[in-house]
Amino acid sequence: MINIAILGYGTVGSGVYEVFRTNKALIEQRLGEPIHVKYVLDLRDFPGDPVEEVLVHDFDTIVNDPDISIAAEVMGGTGAAYVFTKKALEAGISVCTSNKALVAEHGRELMQIARDKGVSYLFEASCGGGIPIIRAINDSLIADAIDEVAGILNGTTNYMLFKMAEEGSDFDEVLKEAQAMGYAEADPTADVEGHDACRKIAILSTLAYGKFIDYHDIPTEGITKITTEDMKYAKAIRSRIKLLGLSRETEEGTIAIVAPFMVNESESLYNVNDVFNGIYVHGNMLGDAMFYGSGAGKLPTASAVASDIVDAAIHLHKTVRTNWNNEPARMVEPGEAEWNFYVRTKGVKITEAESLFAKPKGVQIPECPEEMAYTTGMMKQSEFDKAVEKLGDKLISSIRIFNRN
Amino acid sequence: MINIAILGYGTVGSGVYEVFRTNKALIEQRLGEPIHVKYVLDLRDFPGDPVEEVLVHDFDTIVNDPDISIAAEVMGGTGAAYVFTKKALEAGISVCTSNKALVAEHGRELMQIARDKGVSYLFEASCGGGIPIIRAINDSLIADAIDEVAGILNGTTNYMLFKMAEEGSDFDEVLKEAQAMGYAEADPTADVEGHDACRKIAILSTLAYGKFIDYHDIPTEGITKITTEDMKYAKAIRSRIKLLGLSRETEEGTIAIVAPFMVNESESLYNVNDVFNGIYVHGNMLGDAMFYGSGAGKLPTASAVASDIVDAAIHLHKTVRTNWNNEPARMVEPGEAEWNFYVRTKGVKITEAESLFAKPKGVQIPECPEEMAYTTGMMKQSEFDKAVEKLGDKLISSIRIFNRN
């Protein structure tokens, strides 16, 4: 029997508890031995909940119990979660987590401790919720050189952008609606400013390219400036606006960004709508692959944490092999990265556009007769920035266009 | 150093050779030791090809070499491939294959030998080409009870159906085009009659539900009867016709089928077009997930074989855990399975339709003014069969409608 502890009985923690209760027999059959939730740590009490039998309030009970070989850290944040994870790993307990903030912030140190202690620090649930993207990158693409990862990694913003496009509502309306439905938090900053997606693409890219990518080095733009007019232009060019976490491995180094992109209907990511997540990966042998599913939610996320727990149980007292590497990646300067752009102007004529942008193609929509928008050929970010500066107040907005390598 | 042999230097075999040549350094870094292709077995000679250095014509050279710990069986068929796989496993050599016919036909025996000998028989490449669906089912969904698998598993037929829908060409024209492009073989029977998809859904379902599903027990219909008119009706109900391999785990047992289905635009499988494959999986905790990519082709398939080889190398002298189980599944009688149907008639009126079908809804298209088509509510296959029998020659065609559980 393998004894585990769940640190935190919030949404994901109660989900993990439910997975091991509901699928107990099945997991035992697949693993060859039972997994027993010996402790659930939470500061609160839960009178009447079956968790009461195993509830403890003191982390020391867990870390000092030699029976415990695996812990699920599903508390979130980088405070107590960091302290407990570190102590657990140092005590020879493998830790499985959904905590992208902690992995992005302290992953280097925690992975090193896990390796030194011969245990595992696993985080399938940290990116893409239930979508098994991390195992795909680590194991399934083990014979491939991955050169691109592009993901819709945040369900809240994907829901909001989809609603804006479908219903013609503006950002503030849709945010209120998303908050009312529980999809967006009271303070939506982490989602709408792209911070959540930034941590996720940092983690995925670190695994994809086998070099550490610091999330601080990833230029990050949110969706707060996207307007209903941008949505109409998107439709006119058969695209949807998606918040992408995107990275590319090039000869010059790693490009990484979080920003809204125009995604054409020919792309598989175009059809990742509502609260769903989708992650596109390109391997030099595999070619294109996409992984799609629930990017958040109690049970999908818990399913991913539970799969890591079973993996840690299969590899007890070993470090599960992953592509994680603490050596820092060589990052391409953001200004050097090349993109196609959509740029919306106050009636800038094609001759002027041609003097500023690579191969501009005009787009007009009946709703905005005074305006002229362009899509451009590939341009360096720094050159594009200079060009729009010259436009002055004739610039209304600009958004990158997703084009695969 | 891990020495491997590649059995067969055809399309996939030469791809596997290429993967280990192109990504040699990367694979060595990830595995911690180099993988060396010591032999490639083929009856033919390849003058001037770098493979010449390692080419052998005699399987005994490989099976009698104690250096060889892993073999890639990429010959195809169930003749020599069966004999060589069996001998290799019995000699303690792990075998990784893309050969769905062999896995579906002799998987039980070969898995048993592998387990008895403490080695692995792995077949990620047998279903979905480069899409890592088998590892997802075995490992990523290890804490989930999977209750549905629905896949577009054959790129040739998906390409043909897509072309028929887009271009309005009929089956014979599109088949010729597919043959000219090398997507369809000279004898297209295995693809267009659904035999290829049948073997694949048998393998996937065996792993998903953990009981052996014999492909002979799966009712299989191909796409040869699909007409351009059916395509137009599909469009009218905002659907595309897709050849699905589909299985469900129910309280009454396992339902499995290969047949064309109407797939609504709200389904993620709707957007799996051209030669791509897509596999939808539902887990009781995970919810919906979909995996998308190149279902065939030299390098995508080789990438999957190579990932198995690295997996076998990581677990050398062990049997990699999978959900494979030789205990036979309890299959639901095909007549007992329930579906929604599309049924196309020579002007059958709604009152008659209501006497025959569950909740029929009429669909008419301008191109066929003499006709009347209906979509039905859920009906047992046997009841539907009786109803259409009563229609006599007023029946033109019928196709199931994909509806998730």
Q: Inter-chain contact B142–A307, Cβ cutoff 8 Å?
A: yes
Q: CB–CB of B247/B256 below 8 Å? A: yes
Looking at the fold, whether A212 and A84 belong to one and the same domain comes out as: no
Cβ-count burial of B112 within 10 angstroms (0-12 exposed, 13-18 middle, 19+ buried)?
middle
Check residue B331 and report its DSSP letter.
B
Residue A390 placed within a domain: yes
| pLDDT tens-digit series, residues A129-152 | 999 999 999 999 999 999 999 999
What is the mean predicted confidence (pLDDT) over A326-349? 97
Q: Name the domain boundary from B225, B258, B293.
A: B293
Q: Known catalytic residues of B?
A: 200
- Choose the mutation target among B33, B166, B307 for the interface with A, i.e. most A CBs under 10 Å: B307
Helix ranges (DSSP H) in A248-320? 298-314
Residue A361 placed within a domain: yes
Residue B24 to residues A31, A142, A248, B39, B250, Cα–Cα distance (Å): 33, 11, 21, 16, 45
Evaluate if residue A65 carries a pLDDT over 90.
yes
Looking at the fold, whether A172 and A303 belong to one and the same domain comes out as: no
d(CA A230, CA A170): 11
Per-residue pLDDT, A404: 80
d(CA B202, CA A53): 43
Query: Whole-prediction pTM value?
Result: 0.96
- Which backbone phi and psi does A215 adopt, to 5 degrees? -65, -25
| pLDDT tens-digit series, residues A248-297 | 999 999 999 999 999 999 899 999 999 999 999 999 999 999 999 998 88
Residue B85 placed within a domain: yes
Per-residue pLDDT, A365: 96
Per-residue pLDDT, A338: 97
Q: Any idea how long chain B is?
A: 405
Q: Which of B15, B286, B303 sits opposite A144 (nearest CB)?
A: B303
Q: CB–CB of A155/A275 below 8 Å? A: yes
d(CA A231, CA A236): 9
Per-residue pLDDT, A183: 85
Counting the structural domains of chain A, the total is 3
Q: Inter-chain contact A299–B287, Cβ cutoff 8 Å?
A: yes
Q: Which of B27, B131, B145 sits opposite A26 (nearest CB)?
A: B145
Looking at the fold, whether B151 and B191 belong to one and the same domain comes out as: yes
Looking at the fold, whether B149 and B280 belong to one and the same domain comes out as: yes
Q: Which of B18, B286, B311 sits opposite A139 (nearest CB)?
A: B311
Q: Measured between alpha carbons, how far apart are the two ends of chain B, in Å?
A: 48
The answer to whether B25 faces chain A, any CB pair under 8 Å, is no
| pLDDT tens-digit series, residues A27-51 | 999 999 999 999 999 999 999 999 9
Which A positions 173-212 lie with beta carbon below 8 A of chain B?
210
Residue A360 placed within a domain: yes
| pLDDT tens-digit series, residues A347-397 | 899 999 999 999 999 999 999 999 999 999 999 999 999 999 999 999 999
Which B positions 252-271 lie with beta carbon below 8 A of chain A?
268, 271
Q: Are strands A35-41 and A2-7 parallel, antiparallel or unpaired?
A: parallel
| pLDDT tens-digit series, residues A153-179 | 999 999 999 999 999 999 999 999 999
Q: Please spell the DSSP secondary structure of A20-37, one letter per residue.
A: HHHTHHHHHHHHSS-EEE
Contacts of B20 in chain A (CB under 8 A): 143
Map residue B26 onto helix, strand or coil.
helix
Residue A331 placed within a domain: no
A56 token code pair: 């403890």
Task: Count residue pairs from A and B with Cβ separation < 8 A.
Answer: 180
Per-residue pLDDT, A296: 85
Residue of A nearest to B135 (CA): A140
Residue of A nearest to B287 (CA): A300
Which B positions 341-400 lie with beta carbon below 8 A of chain A?
none
B53 token code pair: 């250095």
Looking at the fold, whether A269 and A340 belong to one and the same domain comes out as: no
Q: Name the domain boundary from B293, B322, B346.
A: B293
d(CA B316, CA B313): 5
Residue B186 placed within a domain: yes
ipTM for the predicted complex: 0.93
Q: Which residue has the tokens 């009152």?
A: B351
d(CA A59, CA A40): 10
pLDDT tens, per residue, chain B with 405 residues: 999 999 999 999 999 999 999 999 999 999 999 999 999 999 999 999 999 999 999 999 999 999 999 999 999 999 999 999 999 999 999 999 999 999 999 999 999 999 999 999 999 999 999 999 999 999 999 999 999 999 999 999 999 999 999 999 999 999 999 999 888 888 999 999 999 999 999 999 999 999 999 999 999 999 999 999 999 999 999 999 999 999 999 999 999 999 999 999 989 999 999 999 999 999 999 999 999 999 888 999 999 999 999 999 999 999 999 999 999 999 999 999 999 999 999 989 999 999 999 999 999 999 999 999 999 999 999 999 999 999 999 999 999 999 986
Contacts of A306 in chain B (CB under 8 A): 142-143, 285
Q: CB–CB of B5/B37 below 8 Å? A: yes
Contacts of B15 in chain A (CB under 8 A): 285
Q: Inter-chain contact B285–A299, Cβ cutoff 8 Å?
A: yes
Map residue B248 onto helix, strand or coil.
strand
Looking at the fold, whether A22 and A126 belong to one and the same domain comes out as: yes
- Choose the mutation target among A6, A134, A144 for the interface with B, i.e. most B CBs under 10 Å: A144
Band of pLDDT at residue A405, cut at 50, 70 and 90? low
The answer to whether A166 faces chain B, any CB pair under 8 Å, is no
CATH at A241: 3.30.360.10
The answer to whether A309 faces chain B, any CB pair under 8 Å, is yes
Q: Which of A291, A299, A310 sits opposite B142 (nearest CB)?
A: A310
Residue-range definition of the domain harbouring residue B358: 337-401
Residue B325 placed within a domain: no
Per-residue pLDDT, B405: 60
Residue of A nearest to B325 (CA): A30
A 10 A CB-CB count for B45 gives 11
Q: Please spell the DSSP secondary structure of B5-45, one letter per residue.
A: EEE--SHHHHHHHHHHHHTHHHHHHHHSS-EEEEEEE-SS-
Per-residue pLDDT, B62: 98
The answer to whether the Cα torsion of A106, A112, A117, A121 is positive or negative is: positive
Which is nearest to A340 in space by CA: A293, A397, A393, A384?
A: A384
Map residue B333 onto helix, strand or coil.
coil
Looking at the fold, whether B289 and B308 belong to one and the same domain comes out as: no
Residue B125 placed within a domain: yes
Q: Inter-chain contact B288–A283, Cβ cutoff 8 Å?
A: no
Distance from CA of B156 to the nearest CA of A (A): 18
CATH at B47: 3.40.50.720
Looking at the fold, whether B148 and B266 belong to one and the same domain comes out as: yes
d(CA B218, CA B213): 8
d(CA A373, CA A236): 11
d(CA B95, CA B110): 10
Distance from CA of B318 to the nearest CA of A (A): 13
- A372 Cβ contact partners less than 8 Å away, ≥ 6 residues apart: A344, A345, A346, A347, A348, A349, A350, A353, A362, A363, A364
Contacts of B142 in chain A (CB under 8 A): 27, 30-31, 306-307, 310-311
The answer to whether A311 faces chain B, any CB pair under 8 Å, is yes
Looking at the fold, whether B237 and B378 belong to one and the same domain comes out as: no
Q: Inter-chain contact A289–B288, Cβ cutoff 8 Å?
A: no
Which A positions 67-86 lie with beta carbon below 8 A of chain B?
none
CATH at A379: 3.30.70.120
Q: Name the domain boundary from B264, B293, B322.
A: B293
Check residue B139 and report its DSSP letter.
I
The answer to whether A283 faces chain B, any CB pair under 8 Å, is yes
Map residue B31 onto helix, strand or coil.
helix
Q: Known catalytic residues of A?
A: 200
Per-residue pLDDT, B373: 97
Map residue A10 onto helix, strand or coil.
coil
Looking at the fold, whether B247 and B355 belong to one and the same domain comes out as: no
Looking at the fold, whether B259 and B362 belong to one and the same domain comes out as: no
Which B positions 206-225 lie with beta carbon below 8 A of chain A?
210
Distance from CA of A388 to the nearest CA of B (A): 36
Contacts of B31 in chain A (CB under 8 A): 142
Looking at the fold, whether B48 and B161 belong to one and the same domain comes out as: no
d(CA A84, CA A68): 14
